[in-house]
Structure 1
Amino acid sequence: MAKQTQTLFLEEWLKTNSGVISNPNSTNSTPQSARSIIQAWADLRESLNQKLFTQQHYQSLQTLLNSGIALYVADPQVKLIVSVLSTPDLSLPSESFPLFLRLLYIWVRKSSKPSPVLINSSINVLFQLFSSQFVANKSSLFFTEGLLLLGAFSFIPSIPENSRTQCLELFCKIMEEEYKLVSLFDDLVPSVLAAMGYALSSSGIIHFTRILDSLFGIWNKEAGPTSTVSHGLMVLHLVEWVLYNCIQSHEKITIFSRQILESSNTSYASFSIVMGASGALRASNRSTSSGLMELRSCAEKRLEIIASDLISNEHKDSVLLQCISLALARTGDVFTKDSLFSCLALAILTEIFPLKRFYTNILSFYGNKGIHEVKQHLHSVIFKEAGVITGVFCKQYAQANETSKSKVENLIWDFCQDVYMSHRQVALMLQGKDDQLIQELEKIAESAFLMVVFFALAVTKQKLVPNVHKQIQLDISVKILVSFSCLEYFRRMRLSEYMDTIRGVAGSVQENETACVSFVQSIPSYADLTTVHVSSNKMEFTWYKDEMQTSRILFYLRVIPTCAEYIPSSVFKKTVAPILFLYMGHPNGKVTRASHSTFVAFISSGQDSDDERVSLKEQLVYYYMQRSLEGYPGVTPFEGMASGVAALVRYLPAGSPCIFYCVNCLVEKAHTLCSQFPKDHDSWNDLHDELEPCKKLLDLLLRLLSLVDIQVLPSLMKLLAQLVVELPEEGQNMVLNDLFAQVADSDDVTRKPALVSWVQSLSYLSSKATINRGDRKPEKSSAVNWNKGRLFGLNRIFPRM
């Protein structure tokens, strides 16, 4: 027999690897003091001497087992246990037998060189227990502990061969006759599988075949256990452990191969065969044994058969799908088949991220059952392995044929649309009622978003390459952008993979008019954005409170500027403009800034010779100014509005009426804001924060002096002068100082002479208006005038005196 593994307690190792526990040393163990353990052994010795086993003695037995696998059982204690079990005059309660067997199991596994005499006496006692009249009342736990002990005895290298054979014979008999008891409870499965592992690793050909039949057939029995994913993982790692650590016999591996290929195709059998075959693959990945390489071929073939049957079956097996996905993830460098790839895609969309099922259940019947289902999934093994499974999925995609690739791509893109529509409905329905359930659903959706990102990146690496037809590249790029927009709400971190994908697909789309139009036309309509799609007559829907919808529109508003040049004016007018102006009134600053950036991108796009585009630009300016100024200050960010104004005065035709309109609107808004405060000049300085919006508009108007064309400049100067002369003296001084500096630094030889003359006149008019109002203070104005004179001394310009 090959070298034994360092794993002392195989059942604990299986539970750890299957995600049932995180630390095997803490399993079923409560720290016990040395004194309490010594006392417990003394109590058991007392029961033997008194020939009486009371409830107190049973409690002492439990005290020992409370230490779990941390307990050490020495030879003297084993002699005591054997004596207690073999004394006919000592009446033991039925519930004590599993505990005694567990103590013997701990001794066998922890003892480096167990005494042959004690082994023989322990085996004899065990045989007596199974052959006694008491066997009719034995529990599932007793049979399970007995199997575990029989397997551990057979696994001892120094055990006599006849004793090993006897143990294996009894083991097989129990497995075949008492399978209902040993597989009835989920919490006993790890111990049963561990017992099989010990027995398989030490058995001869006959017993090996019988035990293997039980391993791959126990799940197919009438009263078999509830099939769970954690049990499947235990089967996987059990087979890996047995094959890699213990089996070197070519004959055994041949039997294993035949069993994998010829086992029943029923649901439960397929469940165990999938995990067993995957365990064989995992073992072959770690070994260069020729026998394991042959077994690998059989395992791959059987996995392909099961996957093909599962895909063709209308009624999908949920557990089998989960097991296939986990098996492929745990196997590592797994082979690629289109049937496996399709199975993996189906598992990802229905089992790993079962959002569609959750949404349907919640919308149709909201209750505790739905809440429990979501919480349970969050803590499941399959969800915790989502990242690894996604990695395998992407590798499988790279090797799949084009038909399978296209089919799966469409499934993923449709999944994104479904999540967007359904999550919005559920969030609106549960808002204020069950925010915790929404948060838990979003945890699953966040992981789904990551899956989509990595899958999309894998798609771009395969499709956005020179040898792929350009139209296919464009279609894929648009679909990825639309899918990302649907799940943008769940993007809670900065991912390099996300940014790389966006750059790739956006770069493909932004210079093709057809692709740009396709992307833009996928944006939800104005009617959809302002209408709730939840069947509730009493629900009040406010479009800007829909955060998921807002995130999607923000995604569009960030991408559209990169391709504005190629969006026809008719498409922009019909599709983008209504949404653009709607979201200019959104309370979220990021959204409103993106709206202004989109407006700027369109205004600066196209050729001046495109009359239709120019006409639309001029039409949009009127709406833009109204929408911007009605939300300023407050909703409208000044920087966004300033960039929009600068763009329209720069890119619209010279002398355009809408530029005049823009200037008039800005002056009127500035006048309204400034007139809200007292004319007393002290208030101008005292109310700095309150006056900030007005000051920003004045600053914008001053900047326009150097931006507007010559035809608009006279009107701007006239309106600005009318505004300035009505300001308090401190406000006039501020504006004139800024004007003096701006004109003095100007290199524009065309407009500078006019501005110089205008500033002189404005200075005079402002001084006169101040005197007429009687609010001038000479001592303050002298300092201001000195600064003004210094600024304009080189230009022979003198401000008011």
Structure 2
Amino acid sequence: MARKANNSLFLEEWLRVVSGSSISGSLVKQNSAPSARSIIQAWSEIRESLQNQKFDTRYLQALRALVSSESTIHVADPQAKLLISILDLRDVCLPPESYTLVLRLLYVWIRKSFRPSQALVGLAVQAIFGVLDDRSILQPALVAQSVLVAGAFACVPSLSGDLKLLSLELLCRILKDEYSLVGSQEELVPVVLAGVGYGLSSSSVVHYVRLLDFLFGIWLKDEGPRACVTHGLMILHLIEWVVSGYMRSNYVEKMSLFATEVLETYKTKYTVFAVFMAAAGVLRASAAGFSTGAQNFEIVSKLRNSSEKRVLSVAQLLVSNGDVTLPATQREGLLLKCFAIALARCGSVSSSAPLLLCLASALLTQVFPLGQIYESFCKAFGKDPIGPRLIWVREHISDVLFKESGAITGAFCNQYASASEENKYNVENMIWDFCQNLYLQHRQIALLLRSIEDTLLGDIEKIAESSFLMVVVFALAVTKQWLNPVVSQERKMETSVKILVSFSCVEYFRHIRLPEYMETIREVISCVQENDATCVSFVESIPAYDSLTNPKDLFTQKIEYEWSRDDVQTSRILFYLRVIPTCIGRLSASAFRRVVASTMFLYIGHPNRKVARASHTLMVAFLSSAKQSEEDERNQLKEHLVFYYMQRSLEVYPEITPFEGLASGVAALIRHLPAGSPAIFYSVHSLVEKASTFNADALQGRKSDPGNQILELLLRLVSLVDIQVLPYLMKSLAQLIIKLPKERQNMVLGELYGQVAESDDVIRKPSLVSWLQSLNYLCSKNKSEGSASTSMMDTSNQLAARL
């Protein structure tokens, strides 16, 4: 960036870009690229106007056309002489705007000329002195352009010392006499700063301190510009540009003077935020490596050390004022914002506790001011209009501070990596608390604004989604610090649980697949899987059942609360449903019964099938798990839970319960419950009873039809259930099959025959033969009632004979 700055033709335009300013500084809007002919015609109109002393609308349009083409045109010395002649006019009434446009063209001339005429520069400076003496024509834009041109003149390398001095005198006079006009319009700030920057970069040291006094003191004046992050960034990059020039040109005296006057001396007339951003600009310039020679290296080192000390002093100032998570004044809020963006741009800075704490505070209160947003909306909900708050949130999203949240997070993680263990622990807890508050507060705002102010809610969630990325990147940095063999088991376990709980709180905002997220999850889960107590600690952090279905928060009094429509809460529970199976073997049966079971059964009935499926997967994981120290208790709980599992699953099938989840759950309970378990008999009975609720057409339809899915599942169970349950299953199937149309009856019998005939299980074959004979008996008994066909009886007899 520093090299781009030094190659920038128009410094003020570069300052606008790097500061993220959305305000255009163009004097004239350019609609299309000008042609060479139109440019020649414009100069002709100006020359003719000067000769005839007639400055009408054509003259003004010509100036506008040239200024709108400033990026492409070249102003030669003869044309500059023409412009200076216009400024020298005293007895002619010119349009006020024309003075500003003429000065802009002179700026284009001086910035693009390789070696401008020194005589013309002298004439131009004198002419500007004369223009500024006429108070009747002074306007903010004219003053700002005068500052810019005077500064640009002063930094021309080929200019004589006398002309540089004259230009600097002009610059300082304007800044002293007209400072109230300088800061009166936002779009003029980069123009004025660029003019001062040009003056500071001049080889002359005359008036140097006066320029520094203006640059760092104007923000304290009542008529001065409003201090903001955008202006702070302009100062940062302006000083980067100036100091980079010093380093390249070996201006040792100026570097030493800058260090003494700005960085090492505390002046009450200097604004803290401006000096701080200047220090960051020095750090950025010094990181670019322009230094050459031993003397230069020494002064650059001094500059850097002084800058780091100044940055640290501001951090200590903020920390000393109390809780850095709650900036007490607007000034402190601005400092925190500048602190965050400066450390994100200035490169590496020596680690210290105040820097780490300030960065953490800046992220949690300024970059992601979600706490302020939520508090504001909850207090004003139903009272004040939403519009102003919508503007505030949208402005923050477009702000440069928010756009650079990733770089700020990177600077924060760098500081964290070098911090002491105590400071690491402090900022970790700040982030984890932020996650908890984010969950609680966004849950409220989402319920209040959903379908009422979706646009506003979407903007708030953009900020929250970005904060999720910050949490993930930081959590990965934490795992690299603590999840290694040399760290105590207690610290590793505590950190793992806190990360998992924090991730559950921000899960709602995870919309993309992040490698950092997956890597962190793998690391912390592997730690949780090593220890029973850690597993229980994590599981016990799941919100209580009562709080899920009937929260006592005040906000629920404002709406009709439905747990299944609470999307933020659902995302958090879904996280638990997915993570608990990975460590289910470490979880005791009593903990599963006490903490997990009720929530799992609640979300089996969630209308979101993804959530319901995850609940079934958790049930499967528990049924499949084993823990030698409590085998009997665990098996007893499995059998107990199966009864409610089948009831809960089938009562919402097929509307909610996904068949894949149900099928996996039934298969798991049959495989892992003891042979002949009453729970298995109950499960078979429940499935048959559910299948009976579908009519014959549903049972013979497509495989994806709900009734047919249940029937297919029952058929698969023939090869899964133990020999004690098999007769009951077959009897139940027979009663179900005889109600089917004859085509479907034969098809089902064929499927059963193929399933058992291909099996090596010699125990099941006699049972199937016996069942086919029983089915034949039922068919003959019900034939007179039309329940079965002769074809089915023949088929069953044939199959029995073949087996």
**Separation in 2 of the partners of 1:368 and 1:119?**
53
* 2-structure distance, mates of 1:624, 1:416: 33
Q: 1:165 to 1:490 in 2, by over 3 A?
A: same
**Paired residue type of 1:459:** V
After the TM superposition, which of the residue ranges 472-481 and 512-521 deviates more from structure 2? 512-521
Determine whether 1:293 maps to 2:301: yes
CA contact (8 A) 1:13 1:24 kept: no
Out of 562, 573, 598, which is 1:578 matched to?
A: 598
1:394-409 counterparts in 2 under 5 A?
Answer: 394-409=413-428
Could you report, residue by residue, the CA deviation over 1:560-613 in whole angstroms, capped at 9, with x for unpaired residues? 111222222222222211111111111111111110111111122234753332
Query: How many angstroms apart in 1 are the aligned matches of 2:268 and 2:321?
Result: 12
Query: 1:562 corresponds to which residue?
Result: 582
* Matched letter for residue 530 of structure 2: E
Q: Is the 8 A contact 1:736 1:763 kept in 2?
A: no
With over 3 angstroms needed to count, the CA separation of the structure-2 counterparts of 1:536 and 1:750, relative to structure 1, is: closer
Partner residue, 1:655: 676
Q: Does 1:438 align with 2:457?
A: yes
Q: 1:255 aligns with which of 245, 254, 257?
A: 257
Q: Which residue is equivalent to 1:308?
A: 316
Residue aligning to 1:797 = 801
Q: How far apart, CA to CA, are the structure 1 residues paired with 2:451 and 2:4?
A: 61
Q: In the alignment, is the contact (CA less than 8 A) between 1:375 and 1:440 conserved in 2?
A: yes
Deviation at 1:415, TM superposition (A): 0.8
SS at 1:633 equivalent = coil
Q: Distance in 1 between matches of 2:162 and 2:170?
A: 12
Equivalent pair of 1:530/1:543 in contact (CA under 8 Å): yes
Q: Is the 8 A contact 1:263 1:269 kept in 2?
A: no
- How many residues of Structure 1 are paired with residues of Structure 2 in the alignment? 779
- Tell which deviates more after alignment, 115-124 or 455-464: 115-124
- Indicate conservation of the 8 Å contact 1:52/1:91, yes or no: no
SS in 1 for 2:8: coil
The answer to whether the Cα contact below 8 Å between 2:564 and 2:570 also exists between their aligned partners in 1 is: yes
Relative distance call for 1:702 and 1:380 in structure 2 (3 A) is same
Select the residue among 615, 621, 624 that pairs with 1:601: 621
Find 1:541's aligned residue among 546, 552, 561: 561
Provide Cα deviations, 1:130-165, integer angstroms capped at 9, x if missing partner.
3x3x13652222221111111111111221211111
TM-score, normalised to structure 1, is: 0.92
Report the Cα offset of residue 83 of structure 1.
1.5
Q: Which residue of the partner structure matches residue 148 of structure 1?
A: 148
Correspondent of 1:462 among 481, 489, 506: 481
**CA pair 109-606 structure 1, distance change in 2 beyond 3 A:** same
Q: How far apart are the structure 2 equivalents of 1:747 and 1:349? A: 65
Alignment of 1:688 onto 2:688: no
Normalization by structure 2: what TM-score? Answer: 0.92
CA distance in 2 between counterparts of 1:211 and 1:583 reads 68
CA distance in structure 1 between the partners assigned to 2:30 and 2:60 by the alignment: 17
Taking the TM superposition and a 5 Å limit, the aligned residue runs for 1:34-183 are 34-130=36-132, 132=133, 134-135=134-135, 138-183=138-183
Deviates more, 1:419-428 or 1:700-709: 700-709
Report the Cα offset of residue 725 of structure 1: 2.5
* 22 and 598 in structure 1: CA distance in 2 versus 1, 3 angstrom threshold: farther
| Cα separation, partners in 2 of 1:153 and 1:658, compared to 1, 3 Å | same
5+ residue gaps, structure 1? none
Q: Does residue 358 of structure 1 match 2:373?
A: yes
1:97 shift after superposition:
1.8
Where 1:731 maps in the other structure, the secondary structure is helix
Q: Does the alignment pair 1:720 with 2:733?
A: yes
Residues 28, 770 of structure 1: alpha-carbon distance in 2 compared, 3 angstrom cutoff: farther
Partners of 2:431 and 2:471 within 8 A in 1 = yes
Percent of pairs identical after alignment? 50
Measure the CA separation in 2 of the matches of 1:775 and 1:25.
90
Distance apart, 1:727 and its partner CA: 2.4
Kept after mapping to 1: 8 A contact 2:779/2:788: no
Say if 1:561 and 1:598, in contact at 8 Å, map to a contact too.
yes
Once residues 80 and 350 of structure 2 are traced to their aligned partners in structure 1, the CA distance between those partners, rounded to angstroms, is 49
1:709 is aligned to 722
Q: Is the CA contact (8 Å cut-off) linking 2:217 and 2:269 kept in structure 1?
A: no
Work out the CA distance in 1 between the residues paired with 2:302 and 2:44.
55
| Separation (CA, whole Å) in 2 of partners of 1:161 and 1:776 | 117
Taking the aligned partners of 1:610 and 1:397, their CA distance within structure 2 comes to 45
- Conserved 8 A contact 1:449-1:491: yes
Distance in 1 (alpha carbons) for counterparts of 2:172 and 2:52 = 38
Question: For the Cα contact (< 8 Å) 2:143–2:181, is it kept in 1?
Answer: yes
Q: What SS does the aligned partner of 1:429 have? A: helix
Contact 1:684 1:730 (C-alpha < 8 Å) held by counterparts: no
Which deviates more from structure 2 when the two are superposed, residues 663-672 or residues 267-276?
Answer: 267-276
The CA distance in 2 between the partners of 1:430 and 1:566, in whole Å, is: 41
Question: Are the aligned partners of 2:780 and 2:788 in contact in 1 as well (CA < 8 Å)?
Answer: no
Give the equivalent residue in structure 2 for 1:319.
334
Identify the range of structure 1 (112-121 vs 518-527) with the bigger mean alpha-carbon deviation.
112-121
Q: Which amino acid aligns with 2:801?
A: I
Alignment partner, residue 328 of structure 1? 343
Instruction: Provide the C-alpha distance between the structure 2 equivalents of 1:507 and 1:197, rounded to a whole number of angstroms.
Output: 56
Alpha-carbon distance in structure 1 between the residues aligned to 2:243 and 2:772:
94
- In structure 2, C-alpha distance between the alignment counterparts of 1:189 and 1:265, rounded to whole Å: 23
Q: Tell me by how many angstroms 1:344 deviates.
A: 0.6
Provide the rounded CA distance (Å) in 1 between the counterparts of 2:769 and 2:788. Answer: 26
SS in 2 for 1:610: helix
Using the TM superposition, give the Cα deviation of residue 534 of structure 1 relative to its aligned residue in structure 2, in angstroms.
5.2
What is the deviation of 1:117? Answer: 2.8
* Cα distance, 1:781 vs structure 2: 9.2
Match of 1:637 in 2: 658
Q: Deviations over 1:314-350 (max 9, x none)?
A: 4251121111111111112332222111111111001
Query: Secondary structure of the residue that 1:688 maps to in structure 2?
Result: coil
Shift of 1:760: 4.3
Contact residue 264 and residue 270 of structure 1 kept, 8 A = no
* Inter-partner Cα distance in structure 2 for 1:539 and 1:196: 58
The structural deviation recorded for 1:364 is 1.6
List alignment gaps of at least 5 residues for structure 2. Answer: 323-327
* Equivalent-residue separation in structure 2 for 1:538 and 1:452 (angstroms): 31
Distance 1:458 1:193 in 2: 39
Counterpart AA for 1:306: V
Distance 1:54 1:536, change over 3 A: farther
Quote the Cα distance in structure 1 between the aligned partners of 2:167 and 2:789: 113
CA 1:469–1:3 in 2, change beyond 3 Å: closer, same or farther?
closer
**2-structure distance, mates of 1:97, 1:264:** 40
Shift of 1:409: 0.6
Question: Structure 2: which amino acid aligns with 1:540?
Answer: E
Aligned ranges for residues 396-435 of structure 1 at < 5 Å? 396-435=415-454
Cα separation, 2, equivalents of 1:206 and 1:45: 37
Counterpart Cα distance in 1 of 2:503 and 2:4 = 53
Deviations 1:176-197 (A, max 9, x none): 3432222232211111111122
Residue 489 of structure 1 pairs with residue 502 of structure 2: no
Q: Bigger shift: 405-414 or 2-11?
A: 2-11
Q: CA deviation at 1:264?
A: 4.1
**Alignment-mate amino acid for residue 436 of structure 2:** Q
Q: 1-side partners of 2:527 and 2:15: how far apart?
A: 49
Correspondence for 2:398 among 371, 379, 393: 379
Distance 1:496 1:4 in 2: 35
Instruction: Report the residue type matching 1:237 in the other structure.
Output: H
Q: Deviation digits for residues 233-279 of structure 1, max 9, x if unmatched? A: 11111111111124522221111112233454769722111111111
CA separation of 1:10/1:327 partners in 2, compared to 1, >3 Å: closer, same or farther? same
- Matched residues in 2 for 1:29 and 1:243: separation? 33
Partner Cα distance (1:148, 1:269) in 2: 22
